[in-house]
Amino acid sequence: MAAPHAMRGYRNGFGDRVLFVAVLLLAAIWIAPIVWVVGLSFKPNDVLMRSTGGIVFPPFTLKNYADILAASSVFHWMLNSAIVAIGQTILTLLIASLAGYGFARTNFPGKRMLFVLVLAALAVPEQAIIVPLHTMFAVVDLHNTYAALIAPRLAFPFGVLLMTQYFRAISPEIEEAALLDSASRFKVFWRIVLPLSIPAQATLGIYTFLHGWNDYFWPLVSATKPEMYTLTVGLAAMQTNFAQTEGIGFLMAQAVFAGLPVMILYLFFQRYIVSAVAGAPAK
Partner 1 sequence: MSGAASSGIGRPSWANLLFVLPYMLVLAVLLIAPVGLGMWLSFQDYDMLGGWAGGVGFENFTNLLNDRIFLGTVRNTVIFVVLTTPAFIVIGLFLALSLNDRTRRSSALRSIFFGASVLSVTIVTLVWRLVYLPDRGLLADTLAIVGLHGLDPVVSETYALPAIAVVTVWWIIGLPMTLFLAALQQIPAEIYEAAALDRTSRWRTLLFITLPSIRRTVVMVAVLEIILQFQLFGQALLITGGGPNNRSRPMVQFIYEAGFRDLQLGFAAAASQILFALMLLAALAQMWLGRRQDGAS
Candidates 64-72, 194-202, 237-245; binding stretch for partner 1 (CB under 8 A):
237-245
Give the span between the Cα atoms of 149 and 146, in whole angstroms. Answer: 5
In the complex with partner 1, the residue whose CB is nearer, 208 or 254, is 254
107: left (phi over 0), alpha (psi -120 to 50) or beta: beta
Asked if 6 touches partner 1 (CB under 8 A), the answer is yes
129, 147, 177, 198: which one binds partner 1 (CB under 8 A): 129
CB of 69 to partner 1, least distance (A): 18
117, 147, 177, 198: which one binds partner 1 (CB under 8 A): 117
CB of 63 to partner 1, least distance (A): 18
Asked if 85 touches partner 1 (CB under 8 A), the answer is no
- Contacting partner 1 within 7-66 (CB under 8 A): 7-10, 12, 15, 19-20, 22-24, 26-27, 30-34, 36-37, 40, 48, 51-53
74, 84, 228, 248: which one binds partner 1 (CB under 8 A): 248
68, 74, 78, 99: which one binds partner 1 (CB under 8 A): 99
- Contacting partner 1 within 152-191 (CB under 8 A): 152, 154-157, 160, 164, 168, 172, 175-176, 179, 185, 189
Candidates 61-69, 195-203, 233-241; binding stretch for partner 1 (CB under 8 A):
233-241
Give the span between the Cα atoms of 77 and 57, in whole angstroms. Answer: 34
Give the span between the Cα atoms of 90 and 167, in whole angstroms. Answer: 19
Helix, coil or strand: residue 8: coil
Give the span between the Cα atoms of 278 and 281, in whole angstroms. Answer: 9
Give the span between the Cα atoms of 101 and 213, in whole angstroms. Answer: 27
Burial profile 121-137: b = 16 or more Cβ within 10 angstroms, e = fewer = eeeeeeeeebeebbeeb
69, 131, 147, 177: which one binds partner 1 (CB under 8 A): 131
Asked if 214 touches partner 1 (CB under 8 A), the answer is yes
Q: Which helix (H) or strand (E) holds 55?
A: none
Candidates 57-65, 68-76, 128-136, 194-202; binding stretch for partner 1 (CB under 8 A):
128-136
Beta carbons within 8 Å of 62's beta carbon, 6+ residues apart: 42
Give the span between the Cα atoms of 11 and 120, in whole angstroms. Answer: 49
Position 51, amino acid:
S
